[in-house]
C-alpha cells in the first residue's frame, strides 16, 4: 500500500526550509501532496496562481509530489485524499505551541487524523516565509534561502525588476 502524506501550508512563498521538510518526508512516505490552504491569520503577498507556479517549478524534479489547493478544513481534505498523515515541519520550540494546538484541533475534528512532525535541518532553523518577505521588501539578499524562482518573484514584487541578481 502506498503511504500518502499531505504537507499543508500557506507557502507564501515556498522556502528552502519547506523543501528540506519535503525531502525528509519523501524518505518516509511514497507520495506527498503539497497543499496550499487558507490560513485566516495571514494576509498573503502572492496570489494562489503565483504560489502554485513557484511550488511547481521548485519541486519539478520530484515525481512523487503533487501540488494542490483546498479552500476548506485540512482534515476534510486529508480524508478526501485518503492521506495517512499530515506532515508539518518543526523549527524551534517557538513553533511547538502553535503546531501542538493545530494537531490536537485537527485530531478533535477528525479522530483518525495523525500529524507527523519532522525537524528541519539546522541551517533552516531561522527561515520563515514571513522573515524572508520582510528582508526582501527592504532589499536584503535572500539568495540561498529560497528556490531561484521565488527569488525572482520577490524581486519583481518589491522592485518590479527580476533581471538583476
Question: Which of 5, 7, 9, 146 contacts ligand PNS by CB under 6 A?
Answer: 9
Question: Which of 42, 80, 123, 137 contacts ligand PNS by CB under 6 A?
Answer: 42
The CB-of-164 to ligand PNS minimum distance in angstroms stands at: 29
- The DSSP secondary structure of 26-68, one letter per residue, reads TTT-SEEEEEE---TT---SS-HHHHHHHHHHHTTT-TTEEEE
> Does 38 sit near ligand PNS (CB under 6 A)?
yes
> Is 91 a known active-site residue?
yes
Q: Kindly identify the residues of this chain, within the stretch 62-101, that bind ligand PNS according to CB under 6 A.
A: 73-74
Residue 92 and residue 10: Cα distance in Å, rounded?
A: 19
Residue 143 and residue 98: Cα distance in Å, rounded?
A: 28
> Does 107 sit near ligand PNS (CB under 6 A)?
no
> Does 116 sit near ligand PNS (CB under 6 A)?
no
Selecting among 10, 18, 51, 58, the annotated active-site residue is 18
Please count the other Cβ atoms lying within 10 Å of the Cβ belonging to residue 131.
Answer: 14
> Is 58 a known active-site residue?
no
Selecting among 129, 133, 151, 153, the annotated active-site residue is 129
CA-CA-CA-CA torsion for 150, 138, 99, 121, nearest 10 degrees? 60
The CB-of-136 to ligand PNS minimum distance in angstroms stands at: 17
Question: Which of 5, 6, 7, 10 contacts ligand PNS by CB under 6 A?
Answer: 10
Cell numbers standing for residue 105: 484541533
Residue 17 and residue 58: Cα distance in Å, rounded?
A: 12
Question: Which of 96, 100, 104, 105 contacts ligand PNS by CB under 6 A?
Answer: 105
Selecting among 84, 91, 133, 155, the annotated active-site residue is 91
Output 113 or 151, the one with its CB closest to ligand PNS: 113
Would you give the distance in Å from CA 159 to the centre of its chain? 24
Amino acid at each position: 500500500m502506498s503511504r500518502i502524506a499531505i504537507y499543508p501550508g500557506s507557502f507564501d512563498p515556498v522556502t528552502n526550509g519547506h523543501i528540506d521538510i519535503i525531502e525528509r518526508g519523501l524518505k518516509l512516505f511514497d507520495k506527498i501532496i503539497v497543499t496550499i490552504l487558507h490560513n485566516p491569520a495571514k494576509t498573503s503577498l502572492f496570489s494562489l496562481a503565483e504560489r502554485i507556479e513557484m511550488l511547481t517549478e521548485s519541486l519539478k524534479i520530484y515525481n512523487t509530489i503533487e501540488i494542490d489547493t483546498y479552500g476548506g478544513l485540512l482534515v476534510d481534505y486529508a480524508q478526501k485524499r485518503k492521506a495517512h498523515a499530515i506532515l508539518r515541519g518543526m523549527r524551534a520550540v517557538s513553533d511547538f505551541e502553535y503546531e501542538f494546538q493545530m494537531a490536537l484541533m485537527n485530531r478533535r475534528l477528525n479522530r483518525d487524523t495523525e500529524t507527523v512532525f519532522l525537524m528541519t535541518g539546522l541551517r533552516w532553523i531561522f527561515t520563515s516565509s514571513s522573515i524572508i518577505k520582510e528582508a526582501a521588501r527592504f532589499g536584503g539578499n535572500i539568495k540561498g534561502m529560497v528556490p531561484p524562482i521565488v527569488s525572482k518573484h520577490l524581486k519583481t514584487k518589491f522592485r518590479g525588476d527580476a533581471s538583476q541578481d
